[in-house]
Structure 1
Amino acid sequence: MTTIDTDVVIIGAGPVGLTLANLLGVRGHRAIVLEARDQLIDYPRGVGIDDEAIRTLCTAGLWEQIRPYTVPHHIARMVNGEGKVLAVNDPKSQEFGFPRKHGFIQPLVDKELAAGLARFPDTELRFGHKVIGLEDHDDHIAVTAERHTEDGAETVTITGRYAVGCEGGSSFTRKWMGVDFEGKSPSTRWVVVDVENDPIGTPSVYLGADPRRPYVSIGLPQGIRRWEFMLHDDEPTEKVNDPDFMRSLLKRHVPDPSALEIINQRTFTHHGRVATDFRKGRVFIAGDAAHLMPVWLGQGWNTGIRDATNLSWKLTAVLQGDADDALLDTYTAERRKHAADMIDVNMAAGSVMKMKPLGGWVRDRAASALNLVPKWKSYFTELRFKPMPRYVSGVVVDQATLTPGRARPSFKHGKLAPFIDSAGENSPVGLQFIQPRVNTASQANVLLDEVTGDWWTLATWGTNPTTYLTPDDLDLIRRHRINLISFMPETQRAWAEKRYADSPLPVTVAGDTSGALKDWFDVRACGLVILRPDRFVAAASLTQQASRTLVAVVKAGSLTRTGKA
């Protein structure tokens, strides 16, 4: 038996496990990824990347490598059986720095995620390692894997501080944890077909809400076209192996189905399930191991990446002594609800797609009426029905009371304070912060994440963020490597840079060239924000409340008073 030690053992080399390993690697921590297969999955599954996931890929230092396998600004149109457009999903906003939706080719993206691990000398991907055992020893975890060699089977034990199961819906790790997998698995089956040399040539996505047979048609990068067709209850799954049956599905979409160059054909069943807990001791689950959702809104891949984003910085903070182990309890609290909300929306979208003729007739006329009202129409066009992650418990601080651990989303039922004047009544705490382009003394026209970095940030609008901080606060900021940023109109940046040159700690002045940051603060009752490493707002307050706000964040995040200097 061979024994190997690392920081985090990751089970499963899908996109979530590979992303998690890369995020740990860029922050200086070791990981070993164990994959039961002999190679990465080579057939496409997911087809959409959203702007939140791209921010994570940038943090991992891999977006430029992945970008060639994507197509930006993927538009989705729902059409009925006659081809009439019922709804258009065409979000124009780029509040997080990128178009909201991209099409992509998953196998090529997964290869780049795997290749990225070569940058880290203490991180490796081990194929052909099937995990057969887990043991939590209180101060470390032991993962036992079996691999087959020319001389027979060999058992390998990998020890680490933590283990994360990212091995999909049939997760060994989730079963070991003994948690329930709540939800539904509708019996509806679908067949997916990918072809080369797109025979249609139209970009973007069509969701065919056809009562005769619902379908999906997607234009993907590198000339690939995907179709997905629903199988009726009286059609056995084996029927998809009949070339005549497959040609009958495709003949409504292409002049000559027999001439198609098919590169992938698979059947699948939609699921809507979420684990009751994402943690047991030193063991976690993420991605499909933690939740399964239908494909309608392309959020299965992206929801898993959000898990990796959330868990990676928390593991990093604990591994390097910045936070106590209690921080890791917030992973389930923050991620489970959003995953469950995404499942509900996807299940509802599937119900709309699969309506029978009478229900479809009612749906079509309701859609026509909704499209006449701009406000209702924009609800679909701008993707407002998609629940954005909002953390109301966890590493958050209530804006009205500065109470750590919970955050109310609105001041609607009570004014924040008698001295507050604000055009807005909603708190930004628990939401992801925007990412416009800014200027600094050393950078021009860069995305904000390049200025704030990938760790904690304390930022103010129009003032020096050190003004209301005590010497103890400044020492804590130094030890926890918290970036201090002053957001300033570009017209005042040079003045601020000169004025803040003698600050007790370095302050970066970010010039707001587009007015996006000014607009953001203008409708929120705060002049100070503390951003978490995943770019979510941990706290927001008046600038004069800086010291009290920082203390509350320390408690909410289980941060140590010493940190890593």
Structure 2
Amino acid sequence: MTTVDTDVIVIGAGPVGLTLANLIGVRGHRATVLEARHELIDYPRGVGLDDESVRTLCTAGLWERIRPYTVPHHVVRLVNGAGRVLATNDPKTREFGHPRKHGFIQPLVDRELAAGLARFPGTGLRFGHRVVGLEDRGDHVAVTAERLDADDRGTGEVTLTARYAVGCEGGSSFTRKWMGTRFEGKSPPARWVVIDVENDPIGTPSVYLGADPRRPYVSIGLPQGIRRWEFMLRDDEPTESVDSPAFLHSLLERHVPDPAALTVINQRTFTHHGRVAAEFRKGRVFIAGDAAHLMPVWLGQGWNSGIRDATNLAWKLTAVLGGDADDTLLDTYGEERRKHASDMIDVNMAAGSVMKMGRLGGRLRDVAASALNIVPKWKSYFTELRFKPMPRYATGVVVDQVTLTPGRAEAGLKRGRLAPFTDSAGALSPVGLQFIQPRVNTSGATGILLDEAIGDWWTLATWGTDPTAFLSPADLALIRRHRIALVSFTPETQRTWAEKRYAGSPAPVIVVGDRTGALKDWFDVRACGLVVLRPDRFVAAASLAQQASRTLAAVVAAGSLVKEGTPA
């Protein structure tokens, strides 16, 4: 095997590239991040952080360092031109262990992500390195970067080698262009100006989406007293007008008593894009984040969708690098992530259309919103953020619950006979969805989040039973080979009994006490007693406990996991 300088070269030191490098480091592999700039971007960009991303940051071991730069439970209100609230997005759920939405300050979060790389030997960040060449050499890649001085003048080139390369360098991605893949979608012509100010002159913690026919706007309360506004520019307003203090004051005068007294941190113009690459992989080269997809800012999902990419790709890269899986596992990255990114773009585009309606369309929208607020079920669709498509992987590292066929998972269960379970527990499979994360008890800890109890790699868990009961000696050897945690979820009232009972099992069993009842509720409405969780906490397979051996075999096939050899 060719000797390489590092395991993965990450191109771009934005949040996606830095998160990916941290996740690779946490799992024992090396990453080198190349960034053309000489420092991290120091102005606010992304402002919305969701619970799925927080879960990833916990896995990376950085959440406690990032938490001070966030405001948990960001409430979003859609208002019309008269200031009347049309819909309120106020999700109360903590399904994945954290509030559903947070406001945050991206430059400070990026700084912690960059500092986190220092924890890992052989992992680092190189500023002033602009990538100018890529070569896939079959068993490794070579990445050529031009070294830049403080004035961005080239001072020579350096070529680094790695097993894989990932382009995370944004919408104008060199890597995507090198791949030659199409960048499909739309770029609406509307321009927006963003204005960030210190010492929030409004002082409210929430978000307002102003669906004002005169000029749509966004107003966002952020941590550390920062307020963000975004205003749509009219077609007859030149981009250069935003450089005029008088013009900016005219935008802000309906929102604050004295625009001239504001301390502006940053102002810039941007255009909303809705694009997704046709392919996320070419050989040993991948793209992630804005390099792979661009989406409008309406629902705050550009940043979070990129973090989902990093979460998905990181565990698969490290599984292959560690000898746990065949390289074909990496094909499932684009297979799983592309559709969800595309769905998120569609929802964001639709939200933008609602925001930008004219006077007639706005009146019709307001009437429709009033009707929706009358019906509790329709109202909760917005209040609980149900319109946001949660990732569900129908192909890739998943196993169909009815047929136990690897690689594909239908949502419905009515195709097969799981009676009486499909009638009593509903007709949808949890396979391909992210597993919940309640607070639990173990023999050594009380009230911890589930991921802290079971770890961040593969998990085979059962409800109320010994997870080894229906596993063969060959199955147990495979579980040892792949460091799969065996877990028994049990009512807290039975935890002590279970710990004693399963102490004699043929493999170690982690007993998790369901202190809140959330785990029982989860299994109570699903036709399964066993789940296999992937390292990214998505359900790879669900079955009856007695199907454990067959289910495990199907997961091994879906994940291209090796069947022999010692752990890497």
TM-score, normalised by the number of residues in structure 1: 0.98
| Residue of structure 2 equivalent to 1:85 | 85
Match of 1:7, SS state, is strand
Q: How far 1:562 sits from its partner (Å)?
A: 2.1
**Contact residue 34 and residue 131 of structure 1 kept, 8 A:** yes
**Contact residue 141 and residue 162 of structure 2 kept, 8 A:** yes
**Contact residue 134 and residue 176 of structure 1 kept, 8 A:** yes
Tell me, in whole angstroms, the C-alpha distance in 2 between the residues paired with 1:461 and 1:421.
Answer: 19
| Residue of structure 1 equivalent to 2:260 | 258
Tell me, in whole angstroms, the C-alpha distance in 2 between the residues paired with 1:152 and 1:70.
Answer: 38
**Contact residue 164 and residue 285 of structure 2 kept, 8 A:** yes
Q: How far 1:423 sits from its partner (Å)?
A: 2.1
Q: How far 1:121 sits from its partner (Å)?
A: 1.5
| Residue of structure 1 equivalent to 2:139 | 139
- In the alignment, residue 466 of structure 2 is paired with which amino acid? N
Tell me, in whole angstroms, the C-alpha distance in 1 between the residues paired with 2:420 and 2:252.
Answer: 65
**Contact residue 323 and residue 563 of structure 1 kept, 8 A:** no
Match of 2:223 among 221, 224, 245: 221
| Residue of structure 1 equivalent to 2:243 | 241
Match of 1:383, SS state, is coil
Tell me, in whole angstroms, the C-alpha distance in 1 between the residues paired with 2:492 and 2:520.
Answer: 11
Tell me, in whole angstroms, the C-alpha distance in 2 between the residues paired with 1:424 and 1:204.
Answer: 36
**Contact residue 70 and residue 105 of structure 2 kept, 8 A:** yes
| Residue of structure 1 equivalent to 2:94 | 94
Please, which runs of 5 or more residues in structure 1 have no aligned partner?
A: none
- In the alignment, residue 293 of structure 1 is paired with which amino acid? M
Q: How far 1:154 sits from its partner (Å)?
A: 1.6
**Contact residue 463 and residue 486 of structure 1 kept, 8 A:** yes
| Residue of structure 1 equivalent to 2:393 | 391
| Residue of structure 1 equivalent to 2:276 | 274
* Structure 1 pair 430–212 and aligned structure 2 pair: CA distance change class (3 A): same
Cα distance per residue 1:451-499 (max 9 Å; x no partner): 1111000000000000000000000000100000000000000000000
* Structure 1 pair 81–420 and aligned structure 2 pair: CA distance change class (3 A): closer
- In the alignment, residue 56 of structure 1 is paired with which amino acid? T
Match of 2:188 among 186, 189, 197: 186
Match of 1:465 among 453, 467, 479: 467
Q: How far 1:415 sits from its partner (Å)?
A: 3.6
**Contact residue 328 and residue 560 of structure 2 kept, 8 A:** yes
* Structure 1 pair 378–563 and aligned structure 2 pair: CA distance change class (3 A): farther
Q: How far 1:422 sits from its partner (Å)?
A: 3.2
| Residue of structure 1 equivalent to 2:481 | 479
Q: Is 1:15 aligned to 2:15, yes or no? A: yes
**Contact residue 87 and residue 373 of structure 2 kept, 8 A:** yes
Tell me, in whole angstroms, the C-alpha distance in 1 between the residues paired with 2:379 and 2:154.
Answer: 62
Match of 2:408 among 406, 409, 417: 406
Q: How far 1:563 sits from its partner (Å)?
A: 5.4
Match of 2:266, SS state, is strand
Cα distance per residue 1:67-124 (max 9 Å; x no partner): 0000000000000000000000000000100000000000000000000000012101
Q: Where do residues 370-385 of structure 1 align in structure 2 (5 Å cutoff)? A: 370-385=372-387
| Residue of structure 2 equivalent to 1:339 | 341
Q: Is 1:429 aligned to 2:431, yes or no? A: yes
| Residue of structure 2 equivalent to 1:351 | 353
Tell me, in whole angstroms, the C-alpha distance in 2 between the residues paired with 1:154 and 1:248.
Answer: 48
- In the alignment, residue 71 of structure 2 is paired with which amino acid? V
Q: How far 1:180 sits from its partner (Å)?
A: 0.1
Match of 2:515 among 513, 518, 524: 513
Tell me, in whole angstroms, the C-alpha distance in 2 between the residues paired with 1:306 and 1:475.
Answer: 32
Q: Is 1:307 aligned to 2:296, yes or no? A: no
Tell me, in whole angstroms, the C-alpha distance in 2 between the residues paired with 1:247 and 1:155.
Answer: 47
- In the alignment, residue 164 of structure 2 is paired with which amino acid? Y
Tell me, in whole angstroms, the C-alpha distance in 2 between the residues paired with 1:563 and 1:557.
Answer: 16
Tell me, in whole angstroms, the C-alpha distance in 1 between the residues paired with 2:374 and 2:336.
Answer: 37
Tell me, in whole angstroms, the C-alpha distance in 2 between the residues paired with 1:475 and 1:450.
Answer: 24
Larger deviation: 142-151 or 515-524? 142-151
Tell me, in whole angstroms, the C-alpha distance in 1 between the residues paired with 2:317 and 2:415.
Answer: 37
Larger deviation: 312-321 or 148-157? 148-157
| Residue of structure 1 equivalent to 2:535 | 533
- In the alignment, residue 266 of structure 2 is paired with which amino acid? N
**Contact residue 281 and residue 334 of structure 2 kept, 8 A:** yes
Match of 1:459, SS state, is strand
Q: Is 1:501 aligned to 2:498, yes or no? A: no
What is the aligned-residue RMSD (CA, Å)? 1.2
- In the alignment, residue 441 of structure 1 is paired with which amino acid? S
- In the alignment, residue 163 of structure 1 is paired with which amino acid? A
- In the alignment, residue 543 of structure 1 is paired with which amino acid? A
**Contact residue 34 and residue 129 of structure 2 kept, 8 A:** yes
Q: How far 1:197 sits from its partner (Å)?
A: 0.3
- In the alignment, residue 144 of structure 1 is paired with which amino acid? T
Please, which runs of 5 or more residues in structure 2 have no aligned partner?
A: none
Match of 1:371, SS state, is helix
Q: Is 1:553 aligned to 2:568, yes or no? A: no
Cα distance per residue 1:206-227 (max 9 Å; x no partner): 0000000000000000000000
Tell me, in whole angstroms, the C-alpha distance in 1 between the residues paired with 2:188 and 2:279.
Answer: 23
Q: Is 1:119 aligned to 2:119, yes or no? A: yes
* Structure 1 pair 471–268 and aligned structure 2 pair: CA distance change class (3 A): same
